[in-house]
Amino acid sequence: MSEVQIGKNVNLEKIQARIESHIDTLSTYTATPGRGTTRLTYSQEDLLARQYIKEKMKEAGLTVREDGLGNIFGRLEGSEKDAASVLIGSHFDSVPNGGSYDGPAGVVAGLEVAALFTENGLTPKYPLEVIALIEEEGSRFSGGLMGSRGLVGLLAEEDFKSLKDKDGITTVEAMEKIGLDSSLPKPRNPKTLKAYLELHIEQGPILEEKNIPIGVVEAIVGLTQLEVTVKGKAGHAGTTPMDRRADALVTAAKMIAQFPELAAAEGEGTVVTTGQLQVYPNGANVIPDQTVFSVDIRSGKEEHVQSVIQKVKELADSYHDIGMEITVEQLLYIQPKEMNKEIVSLLREKSNKLGFPSCSINSGAGHDAMVFADYTNTGMLFIPSKNGLSHSPEEWSDSRHIAEAVHILFEAAIELTEAE
């Protein structure tokens, strides 16, 4: 038994076993059993995961509530009246056919930190809140980071209500279907937030290659998501000569094929991805009259994100004179974000004290932490991802590393909540 203690009762083996049980259970709430986790926001799988998380929050002695977005909060009350809260958590939605750890690892870490508070009989001065956020991935309603953006007031009520999934179902209708109340309050006064801590899997190869269990995140890349709509003209696949076509799919394909070069020319690790493409009317013998595709652009430097947006727009304009109508809509834009320096030092200090090797790391993935960073003192921990894989059924992380991160977060949370 390698039990590490600094005054508090922390049994890493026990925590590790509970983490595995949480992750295994949550991974069964998938619409694609055997083909990874597919848990779209406000789906039946969301409902099952939500019920499990709420039950575990209650078992950890927390008072549970949901907001008008369906974010879940489990609160351990503070001894000081109306004090701001220390939030720990992540998201519990997934990409289509994703893994079991992207998001849930951080929610589960929050649950275990709260359980340690209760087991050690600690009373925080500032409330501790475990938080499970919706729609970070944007897999159902596009854009992403919806739970955190809504929580800090960056998503207007009207905009939230107007969002629809690919079947035309609105956010409000989807919430009602699983018994959620969209009329509950959404934005929260930033004064009620003292800090936000998030554990996440790295989703890349660095920690595994270095054989270091803990990454203390310094900064998160800037990113944007564009939706490009190409309009051409439908026609018969057999009778329309090749030189009389305005084929929306061929034009989209030509554009998309240029993105790798565009990203390489921009340099400094700039990445551009098209992961969604819809073709209309989607008939094998019909020339497509419309295509809609996503463009995800990321870089540690905002100027590169801006420059690629401009180039995508110029590329779109260049097809106008051959009869194509192309519009570019920006669904999400978020600048690169630095984590709070004091939280970074605190997390580093706790890792050192507990004897867990750590290093500084930057995040190429987007996270709810980048939204919270403008509103409260925010920090993140990463743990290694096997073979650097994520957004894949093969995504895997070691529950021992999650347990170690829980221990660090527990010690950090004691300090931030001034618990005794």
CB of 40 to ligand GLV, least distance (A): 14
Site for ligand GLV in 136-155 (CB under 6 A): 137, 144
CB of 140 to Mn ion, least distance (A): 13
Closest CA relative to residue 162, chosen from 151, 177, 173:
173
Is 137 annotated in some ligand binding site? yes
Extract the tokens encoding 310.
């401009």
Q: Is 133 in the site for ligand GLV (CB under 6 A)?
A: no
- The enclosing H or E element of 226 equals strand 222-231
Extract the tokens encoding 175.
């919430």
CB of 65 to ligand GLV, least distance (A): 26
Alpha carbon 214 to its chain's center: 19
Extract the tokens encoding 296.
């995800």
CB of 98 to Mn ion, least distance (A): 7
Q: Is 198 in the site for ligand GLV (CB under 6 A)?
A: no
Is 407 annotated in some ligand binding site? no
Closest CA relative to residue 42, chosen from 154, 157, 181:
181
Q: How far apart are the C-alpha atoms of 182 and 196, rounded to whole Å?
A: 24
Pairing, β 358-363 against β 214-220: parallel
- Considering only 36, 74, 96, 103, the residue that binds Mn ion (CB under 5 A) is 103
Q: Mask: binding to ligand GLV, 93-132, rule CB under 6 A, as x and -?
A: ----------------------------------------
Is 236 annotated in some ligand binding site? no
Q: How far apart are the C-alpha atoms of 28 and 22, rounded to whole Å?
A: 10
Binding segment for Mn ion among 103-111, 187-195, 284-292, 345-353 (CB under 5 A)?
103-111
Of the two residues 214 and 370, which places its CB atom closer to ligand GLV in the complex? Answer: 370
Of the two residues 124 and 366, which places its CB atom closer to ligand GLV in the complex? Answer: 366
> 373-401 burial, b if ≥16 CB within 10 A, otherwise e?
bebbbbbbbbbbbbeebbbbbebbbebbb
| Single-letter amino acid, residue 253 | A
- Considering only 110, 366, 379, 384, the residue that binds ligand GLV (CB under 6 A) is 366
Q: How far apart are the C-alpha atoms of 302 and 312, rounded to whole Å?
A: 16
Residue 299: strand pairing partners: 222
Binding segment for Mn ion among 55-63, 98-106, 143-151, 234-242 (CB under 5 A)?
98-106
- Considering only 252, 365, 373, 406, the residue that binds ligand GLV (CB under 6 A) is 365
Q: Is 102 in the site for Mn ion (CB under 5 A)?
A: yes
Q: How far apart are the C-alpha atoms of 396 and 213, rounded to whole Å?
A: 14
CB of 176 to Mn ion, least distance (A): 26
- For 56: left if phi > 0, alpha if psi spans -120 to 50, otherwise beta; the answer is alpha
Binding segment for Mn ion among 97-105, 258-266, 286-294, 322-330 (CB under 5 A)?
97-105
Q: Specify binding-site residues for Zn(2+).
A: 91, 102, 137, 200, 391
Q: Specify binding-site residues.
A: 91, 102, 137, 200, 391
State the residues that interact with ligand GLV by CB under 6 A.
137, 144, 365-366
